[in-house]
């Protein structure tokens, strides 16, 4: 072995480092994920180098607002915080086939149309494959350049020579450096590649988008340090067999992480959905029991979704409970609240809960909608078409307060709803829209009396 190098074992799931091989990773508890790699030893810093380091006072640093690049894709601009910041490193993750490459290719088209130099680097597809997808999106300008390469040293030389304003790396798991003795996609390669790209972005002022593969749990594959090193982490979510997609920021140094972007997959690529609530409620059945609309918040954005419930007598000793789009345990908890505090016998009833459109909702404000949908289906009584509700339900049957009440009511009023059942404690100091009837309730029993 060459002098200055030693063998280290890395966990392929979380990046944990160990001096010897172990069957189970001590950090993430995954089995058989430790892989041996050779790591170069770092030389120590001399006293002369330490004295050359410049230390600045915080009050002497001049702050400046970066001029962002407009992508002309409003949903993407919202998630990024207003546009692309020059010199930023953005990680985009998502399931295979969800539309990551399509979204970035559409972004490249929009930027190149504004005479912004763009370099799209692919390590997974050939030039012909990229061209076939680009033809479905539209006509690109000459500012768009393509490169199919996985050697990061060559890629670094091309970027420093051409000096583009925006670079897309698809994907980071295919990139490698020759001086790192491990396979592409390993912990050492991903960490080294990210370090090189981060240095390029900061020194050259280039905005770099990096595509990252995800594991079966939905997190970005490779070491967790990858997410810590980049400036922004975006996740592309949604069922690949459904038409809608949600772009969510889980980390953003240049904006808020409370915004989402909604897209619809169509023949020519991804189309923006400026009004997701109207899109989610399209096709809602009329005069059907077990159906109610609730308002949930995705960050600071209100979304109206339809909760559907089907309750029927069980033919077996153990009733079946199924939940799609909501927490299964939460459904069981709310059904127990109905039995205990309202006196509705559901122990011998099968219950099937679904969020229409394939949405996944985890906010407690949908509890009241779940309860009302279950009772509506159990008693076979439809809920008024113009009624909406929201509120958290406690274990004693009380309806607790939620945040951003006025935004929820305004979104419901915009889509034509006339009645709203909400927690009574939330009715203080709120502005009621004209033509909107607000009904405050303190517990589940009062909400059922209204229905």
Query: pLDDT tens, 343-392?
Result: 889 989 999 999 987 788 889 999 999 999 999 999 999 999 999 999 99
Q: Where are the beta strands (DSSP E) in 273-319?
A: 291-298, 301-313
Q: Is the peptide bond before 162 cis (omega within 30 degrees of 0)?
A: no
Q: Give tens-digit pLDDT for 256-272.
A: 887 888 898 888 889 99
Q: What is the pLDDT of residue 335?
A: 95
Q: What is the pLDDT of residue 2?
A: 47
47 pLDDT above the threshold of 80: no
Annotated binding site for ATP: 94-101
Q: How far does Cα 405 stand from its chain's mean position? A: 24
Residue 216 has pLDDT above 80, yes or no: no
The predicted-structure confidence for 327-356, as pLDDT tens digits, reads as follows: 999 999 999 999 999 888 998 999 999 998
The rounded distance, in Å, linking the Cα atoms of 293 and 283 is: 13
Q: Provide the pLDDT confidence category of residue 187 given band limits of 50, 70 and 90.
A: confident
Look at 71 and 283; give whichever has higher pLDDT. Answer: 71
Residues ≥6 apart with Cβ < 8 Å to 28: 11, 13, 14, 16
Distance CA 157, CA 285 (A): 59
Instruction: Identify the sign of the CA torsion 402, 405, 409, 414.
Output: negative
Average pLDDT over residues 91-104: 90
% of the chain residues with pLDDT over 90: 52
221 falls in which pLDDT band (50, 70, 90)? low
Pick the CATH number of 68-274 from 3.40.50.2300, 3.30.9.10, 3.40.50.300, 3.10.350.10: 3.40.50.300
Give the residue numbers of the binding site.
94-101
* Domain edges within the chain: 5-41, 68-274, 284-450
In the predicted model, is pLDDT for residue 1 greater than 70? Answer: no
What is the phi-psi region of residue 99: left when phi exceeds 0, alpha when psi lies from -120 to 50, beta otherwise? left
Mean pLDDT confidence for 6-24: 83
In CATH terms, 284-450 corresponds, of 3.40.190.290, 3.30.1280.10, 3.40.1830.10, 3.30.230.10, to 3.30.230.10
SS3 at position 152: helix
pLDDT at 223: 66
**Mean pLDDT of the residues in the chain:** 87
Question: Averaged over 215-226, what is the pLDDT?
Answer: 71
Predicted confidence (pLDDT) at residue 4 exceeds the cutoff of 60:
no
pLDDT for 218:
67
Q: Burial-class residue 412 by CB neighbours within 10 Å (0-12, 13-18, 19+).
A: buried
Using 50, 70 and 90 to split pLDDT, how confident is the model at 48?
A: low
168-179: burial string, b at 16+ Cβ within 10 Å, e else: bbbbbbbbbbee
The model's pTM is 0.77
């Amino acid at each position: 072995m060459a002098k200055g190098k030693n063998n280290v074992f890395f966990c392929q799931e979380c990046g944990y480092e160990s001096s010897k091989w172990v069957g189970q990773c001590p950090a993430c508890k995954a089995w058989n994920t430790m892989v041996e790699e050779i790591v170069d030893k770092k030389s120590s810093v001399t006293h002369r180098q330490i004295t050359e380091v410049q230390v600045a006072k915080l009050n002497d640093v001049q702050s400046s607002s970066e001029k962002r690049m407009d992508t002309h894709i409003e949903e993407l601009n919202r998630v990024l915080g207003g546009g692309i910041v020059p010199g930023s490193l953005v990680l985009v993750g998502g399931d295979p086939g969800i539309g990551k490459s399509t979204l970035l290719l559409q972004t490249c088209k929009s930027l190149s149309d504004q005479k912004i130099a763009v370099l799209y680097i692919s390590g997974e597809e050939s030039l012909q494959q990229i061209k076939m997808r680009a033809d479905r999106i539209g006509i690109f300008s000459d500012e768009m350049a393509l490169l199919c390469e996985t050697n990061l040293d060559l890629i670094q030389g091309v970027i420093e020579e051409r000096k583009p304003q925006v670079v897309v790396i698809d994907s980071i798991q295919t990139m490698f450096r020759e001086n790192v003795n491990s396979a592409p996609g390993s912990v050492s390669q991903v960490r080294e590649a990210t370090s090189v790209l981060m240095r390029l972005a900061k020194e050259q002022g280039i905005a770099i988008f990096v595509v990252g593969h995800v594991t079966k749990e939905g997190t970005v594959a490779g070491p967790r340090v990858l997410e810590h090193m980049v400036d922004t982490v975006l996740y592309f979510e949604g069922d690949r067999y459904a038409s809608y997609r949600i772009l969510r920021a889980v980390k953003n140094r240049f904006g808020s992480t409370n915004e989402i972007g909604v897209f619809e997959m169509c023949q020519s690529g991804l189309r923006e959905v400026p009004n997701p609530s109207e899109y989610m409620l399209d096709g809602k059945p009329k005069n059907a029991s077990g159906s109610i609309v609730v308002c949930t918040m995705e960050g600071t954005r209100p979304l109206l979704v339809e909760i559907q419930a089907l309750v029927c007598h069980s033919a077996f000793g153990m009733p079946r409970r199924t939940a799609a789009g909501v927490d299964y345990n939460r459904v069981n908890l709310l059904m127990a609240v109905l039995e205990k505090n309202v006196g509705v016998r559901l122990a011998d009833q099968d219950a099937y809960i679904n969020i229409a459109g394939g949405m996944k909702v985890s906010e407690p404000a949908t509890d009241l909608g779940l309860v009302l949908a279950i009772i509506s289906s159990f008693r076979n009584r439809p809920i008024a078409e113009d009624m909406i509700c929201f509120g958290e339900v406690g274990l004693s049957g009380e309806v607790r307060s939620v945040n951003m009440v006025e935004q929820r009511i305004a979104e419901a009023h915009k889509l034509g709803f006339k009645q709203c059942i909400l927690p009574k404690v939330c009715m203080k100091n709120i502005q009621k829209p004209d033509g909107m009837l607000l009904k405050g309730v303190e517990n589940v029993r009062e909400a059922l009396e209204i229905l």
